[in-house]
Amino acid sequence: MPTVLIVGASRGIGLEFVRQYAAEGWTVHATNRAGKSDQQPAGNITWHPLEVREQASIDALAAALKGQSIDVAVLCAGVMGPRTMVPEAIDRTAWADVLAINTMAPLAVAGAIRPNLLLGSQRKLVALSSRLGSIACNETGSTYIYRSSKAALNAVWRTLSIDTRGDGLICTVFHPGWVRTDMGGPNGEISPEESVAGLRKQIAGLTMAESGRFFNYDGTELPW
């Protein structure tokens, strides 16, 4: 069976990815800060500790995975940050922290696991972004920190798709939908189960033609 790496699997969408892939018999590597989960989905799952803001932790993950093939990597780790920041009171510390987690860390992890993906047969590298990161879709304003971090992630992943084309890596970003999680809140439009089922369907069908593009969980392409 193929192997998947889920980064940011402590709860919500990430943990649901672990459940669904494991239930289909995939070999699953999952990360969170603790290196374990209070919830224990059934299946062939190996947990790894990872603090995505620390390069030493990313390097340790790479060492633990050395020589192992990864077919699909899904990078879910992300934070919202303060929602109410205004231009008159910029929280530089909070903004930098969100950028470190949402924008810089995915690229650092991608670099660390690139050798593993090259050993795999599918070579799919997926990052979860957000429709809030789409400049074209922004009609409501606010949420400066989160929007900018996801817009930057989109730019990073588009660039990565170009730089790794010679390796045959498929680098795609997805909006998971407005999901009922701790981040999305109780008014979200869909459950984690629905979101991940849709995302997995889209990931399964990815080809090089979708590399460097931005899609909704239902396969609808989104504008940058």
**Residue among 156, 142, 151, 164 at smallest CA distance from 222:** 151
Where in the sequence is the domain holding 97, given as residue range(s)? 3-216
Q: Between these two residues, 42 and 13, which has the higher pLDDT value?
A: 13
184 pLDDT higher than 70: no
**Is 44 a residue whose pLDDT tops 80?**
yes
75 inside domain: yes
- Answer whether residue 36 shows pLDDT above 90: no
The answer as to whether 175 is a domain residue is: yes
In a domain, 152, yes or no: yes
The tokens for 157 are 């992943």
In a domain, 224, yes or no: no
- Is residue 162 in a domain? yes
Q: Which residues contact 37 (CB under 8 A, 6 or more apart)?
A: 9, 10, 15, 18, 30, 47
**Structure confidence at residue 16 as a pLDDT band (50, 70, 90):** very high
Domain CATH number, residue 44: 3.40.50.720
Q: Does a structural domain hold residue 54?
A: yes
CA dihedral for 87, 90, 92, 95, sign (positive or negative): negative
Q: Is the pLDDT of residue 178 over 90?
A: no
Using CA atoms, how far residue 73 sits from 27, 110, 132, 160, in Å, is 12, 9, 23, 14
Q: What's the N-to-C CA distance of the chain in angstroms?
A: 35
Is 196 inside any structural domain? Answer: yes
